[in-house]
Structure formats: C-alpha cells, structure tokens
Chain A
Amino acid sequence: MKERIEICLSGSGGQGLILAGIILAEAAGIYDGKEAVQSQSYGPEARGGASRSEVVISNNTIDYPKVIKSDILLALTQTACDKYVKNLNKDGILVADSTLVTEVPNISNKIYLFPIAETAQKKFGTKLVTNIISLGIIVGLTEVVSQEAIKKAVCFRVPVKAKEVNEKALLLGFDIAKDLKTKK
C-alpha cells in the first residue's frame, strides 16, 4: 500500500460524513497505530448543503493535512460526485450511492456503485447508518485500515444505545464489499 493515502468522504450535511471521517482516522491513528489526520469543509447549514470530510493516513508524520489527490472518494450526492471526482487519482477508486448518484462519471477508475442509503433504510429502518455502511464498504474494498480497527473505532465513537445497529451496519458494509469485488 502507498505510504500516504488520501480519502475524501463527500455528500451533504447531516449524512454523518464528518463522524465517518473521525472514525476512519481513529481506526488508523489509534487502533492501527499509524498517523492520521481528519479535516472537513462545510457550509453554514447543519443539514443539507455540501459537506466534505477528508482523512489522510500515513506510516510517517503527516505534513500537509489535506487531500491533494484522493485515492478513495465516497460520493453520497450527485453534486459531491461531480465536484470531487475531478480530484480523484488515476488509480483511485470511487464508491458512490447508486440511487443518489445517477449520472456516473465517465472515468477509467474503479467504480463501485451500491444503493447504500436505501439499504440502510430497508435493513435497519434508518438512513442514519448510511455513513457506517459506507465505511464498511470502503474498508472491505481497500483495507485502508484493518477491520478490527474500524470495529473498535465505530464502537468508541457511536452512542452506547446505537452500538449494536452500527456494528451490524459495518459488517453489512464488509459483505457488500465482498459482493462488489467478486462482481468486478
């Protein structure tokens, strides 16, 4: 794996992308013992509006803390996809919600599409776990952090009451990743 990996989680406010970024950074930094930085860009809205959470993971000290060219891009809205796909590395991968991102960009990258939010609603009765399923998919596809680490990080960051459902959502994400990989 590359020395420095840059991940961009994009969508709109309220989709839990900032929390997802924090969990990913915590998995890498605290539980996998690497270096990790999470940062974000957001508008004045608490809900809606563009939202972007960035995570940089490295085996060495991280100087520049932001994404220069993303290796992994998660897009949970069409607007976010259109905006951030331009900044995706040539050999980077795109994970997008197939219901929310209907116009899939015409790029040569590895693209993984799945109706994440819809599945969250169907399986768990809430779209709130869309972010955690997405993390499961990303980790399942890329091993950017270990599965053990992301499990611990999810449990540490989500409220006690929501622990079980989030753990299940994460595991579901791993399974989805397996399917997506075999389909390729």
Chain B
Amino acid sequence: MNNLKKKKNIKLLQGNEACAEGALLAGVKFFAGYPITPSSEIAENMARKLPKIGGKFIQMEDEIASMAAVIGASIAGLKSLTATSGPGMCLKQENLGFAIINEIPCVVVNAQRGGPSTGLPTKPSQGDMMQARWGTHGDHPIIALAPSTVNEILTLTIKAFNFSEKYRTPVILLLDEVIAHMREKVEIPAPENIEVINRKKPTVPPEEYLPFKPDEDGVPPMANFGEGYRYHITGLIHNYKGLPTSNSQEIDAFIRRLHNKIQKNIKDIIIYEKYSLDDAKIALIAYGSVARAAERTVKLAREEGLKVGLLKLLTIWPFPFEEVNRLAQQVDLIIVPEMNLGQIVLEAERAAQGKCRVVPYGRVDGELINPIEILGKIWEEIRK
C-alpha cells in the first residue's frame, strides 16, 4: 500500500554488528565460535539473534572445534558463520582446508589485530593478508574480501555467503580492528532488495548422485546430509563418488577443478572501486580501513596539484591481476599503503610486470595509517 514511502532502516552500527546483520540477511542459521578480541561482538550478536529466528549458536572449546562445527552444520544444511582474529585464525586453518577440499560453503571472519602471536589484541593490523591466501596447507584456491566501511561490511558479508554457496567454497572476510569496532551509519536494506544465493541441489535421484561430479560451471550440486542422499565426505583427495582415490588422473583433475571453479569466475568475484583514476599518474592501491586514509590522501594530493588516484580493493583473493596490470600501464608509480611491511604490494608488483614502479608504505605500530603520511610518501617518491 504504502510501499513508496517505506521508511529507510538507518542505524548506527558497529562493524562487527553490521557483519552479524549482513549474515542474517544472507540467511545464516548457524554460528560456532570462540571469544577473541576484536571479533567477539559478532559472536555476541549471533548468540542473541540466531535463536530468535530458529537458528543455532554454539560457543565451542576452541577455534579448531568452531571451524569443524561450522562445516558440520553446513553439510547438514545450514548456512554457517564463524568469526575470529589472528591467533584463532591460525587454529581455523586445519579445518579450513577440509572445507576447501570438500567444497563446503561457509564464511570465516578474521578481524585482524597486530601479530605475530598474541601481538596487539586491541589494535589494528593487516598482517594476515597472505595467511588468508596460503594459511592452510596444500595448493588451494580461496576467496577473501576486505570491506573498508561499516556499510561495506554488511554488503560484503552478504556477498561472502553468496560466493560461498555459489562456488561451494569457504570465503574469508578480512576486517581489521578499526572497522570491526568502528560505528557508522548504515542503511540496512530490506530483505526483498537483497540477492541471496543458495547452494545448488542435485536434480538426479540418490542412486544416480555423484557428489563430486561437477556441472559445467565446475561446481558439483550439493545434497545436505539427511535429505536421502547417502554419500561419503573425506579430507582425502576423492573421486566423483567422494571416495579416496590414488588415480593420478583423477587427482590432477580434482585439484585443477578446485582452482578453475574460482579462476573461471573472477569477473564475478573480483570487486574494486576506482577514485580519481581517470587522469592519474600516481595510483594508490589500498584496502580495509587504510583505503579510507588513501581516499583522503587523493583529495589532499589533488589540492596540491598532484594527479593521484586510488584503486580500492574489495576482493583481495583472487587478486585483481588484470586491473592492476592495466593500471600499471597508465601510471608512473603505484604506492601500496598497508598496515604490514609489504604483503599485497608483492601481488601488485607481480601484476604490474615491471610496467611502473611499485612501492610499499607500511605501518606496524598498531595505529591506522593517516592520510598525511601517505601524502608524505607520495612527495618522497616524487622527489627521488
């Protein structure tokens, strides 16, 4: 009746709260976790809200168990989430690999704090970017997203669930302490305005179901346990039936398919934003909370007559190789500010293929990089 005048749902939300809201909008029904700063508010929100919608929350004995429970719940049919920070992320790696090899949809949030080890529990860092890519052993693909505003935390959490269901893969959402704890105005979209993707179900009867035989898109349809399809799931490399194999052709095809189902869809998966790049001669590449400092730097630099632009990465893995490569052909210099001593800058350098200079700007004192220091770095490089 009054659809046109529907009131917008605007709230001041903490980053972690927005993550929980996004997950609920995406259809999350299960959360397992272990308390750790600066991610605990996600668990607290889930503990409060999941039972209201008939979902389940469980606080497990550690992060290894949390990751296992999340995978178990997903196999039994519920969209599942866990959230942690560096020390807990280390423990998640074991079963993250299990989720990858068995193509189990789930979302893992890492609200990054300073490391290594216990590091800086209450201070931000972007030190886990490479861990997100290669943290679990074996040659595997991964999808990792990095929002830079509270609003993006909400939208990218939904995206993370959608990617995980569509491509049958765990998806890592990389926050940092700044945006995890920051509060900002968020417009919570109405459920009818959100695209929610659910896993493909088998269309064949149980006796014909091959649980790991891919469709043309490289993704096998997934039957949930208890739905009449009895099959085996194993952390061993397996054949179409899901049974362990030592056939080298099957092994090769399996590992390649895992990679290809992501690689073939990078157009869908890779998300980024461009700021003032059209005429830029110097580009900043940034992500997470640092991207917001960089955005400000662009304005400051332009006031000083410098043609600076920003490529803000929202998808970190797979890395937007093509986009960075094109950018390197356009600009003379790429600066990658990040709260580590050079992680994503290595990928940027690889993607630039020597077509322009690529330099890091790192800060590791537990404080967010500020726009002035990035501007200082730009001038320093110009004067070189």
Q: Which of A44, A62, A64 contacts B370 (CB 8 A)?
A: A64
User: Nearest A residue to B183 by beta-carbon distance?
Assistant: A38
Given A26-B12, A42-B122, A44-B122, answer yes or no on A65-B372 (Cβ-Cβ < 8 Å).
Answer: no
Q: Which of A26, A39, A68 contacts B181 (CB 8 A)?
A: A39
**CA distance in complex: A22, B182 (Å):** 10
Tell yes or no: A165 within 8 A of B by CB.
no
**Chain B residues, Cβ within 8 Å of A37:** 182-184
Tell yes or no: B307 within 8 A of A by CB.
no
| Contact call A29/B292, Cβ cutoff below 8 A | no
A8-43 near B? 1/0 per residue, CB < 8 Å: 000000000000011001100110000111111111
Given A44-B121, A68-B370, answer yes or no on A36-B12 (Cβ-Cβ < 8 Å).
Answer: yes
Which interface residue of B121, B184, B368, B372 has the most chain A CB atoms within 10 A? B184
B10-50 near A? 1/0 per residue, CB < 8 Å: 11100000000000000000000000000000000000000
User: Which of B192-200, B203-211, B293-301, B330-338 sits within the interface?
Assistant: B293-301
Give chain B nearest CB distance to A34 CB in angstroms: 9
**Chain B residues, Cβ within 8 Å of A127:** none
**Chain A residues, Cβ within 8 Å of B368:** 66
| A58-85 CB contacts (< 8 Å) to partner B | 62-66, 68
Q: Which of B122, B178, B183, B185 contacts A43 (CB 8 A)?
A: B122
User: Nearest A residue to B295 by beta-carbon distance?
Assistant: A63
| Contact call A39/B12, Cβ cutoff below 8 A | no
Q: Which of A30, A39, A42 contacts B182 (CB 8 A)?
A: A39
**CA distance in complex: A153, B250 (Å):** 62
Interface size, A (range): 20 to 34
Q: Which of A21, A39, A63 contacts B299 (CB 8 A)?
A: A63
Give chain A nearest CB distance to B300 CB in angstroms: 10
**Chain B residues, Cβ within 8 Å of A40:** 181
B96-119 near A? 1/0 per residue, CB < 8 Å: 000000000000000000000000
| Contact call A30/B181, Cβ cutoff below 8 A | no
How many residues of chain B are within 8 Å of chain A by beta carbon?
Answer: 22
Give chain A nearest CB distance to B179 CB in angstroms: 8
| Contact call A65/B184, Cβ cutoff below 8 A | yes
**Chain A residues, Cβ within 8 Å of B12:** 22, 25-26, 29-30, 36, 38
B353-384 near A? 1/0 per residue, CB < 8 Å: 00000000000000010111000000000000
**Chain B residues, Cβ within 8 Å of A43:** 122
| Contact call B178/A30, Cβ cutoff below 8 A | no
Tell yes or no: B289 within 8 A of A by CB.
yes
Given A29-B12, A68-B371, A68-B372, answer yes or no on A63-B296 (Cβ-Cβ < 8 Å).
Answer: yes
**Chain A residues, Cβ within 8 Å of B11:** 30
**CA distance in complex: A41, B38 (Å):** 12
Which interface residue of B10, B178, B185, B370 has the most chain A CB atoms within 10 A? B185
Give chain A nearest CB distance to B160 CB in angstroms: 22
B129-150 near A? 1/0 per residue, CB < 8 Å: 0000000000000000000000
User: Nearest A residue to B182 by beta-carbon distance?
Assistant: A39
Which interface residue of B11, B182, B370, B371 has the most chain A CB atoms within 10 A? B182
Additional A-B contact list (4), CB under 8 Å, known A37-B184, A39-B182, A41-B123:
A29-B185, A30-B12, A43-B122, A64-B295
Q: List 22 A-B contacts (CB under 8 A).
A: A22-B12, A25-B12, A25-B184, A29-B184, A29-B185, A35-B185, A36-B185, A37-B184, A38-B12, A38-B182, A38-B184, A39-B181, A41-B123, A44-B122, A62-B184, A63-B292, A63-B293, A63-B296, A63-B371, A64-B295, A65-B289, A66-B178
Top 6 nearest A-B pairs by Cβ distance? A63-B295, A64-B296, A38-B183, A29-B185, A63-B296, A39-B182
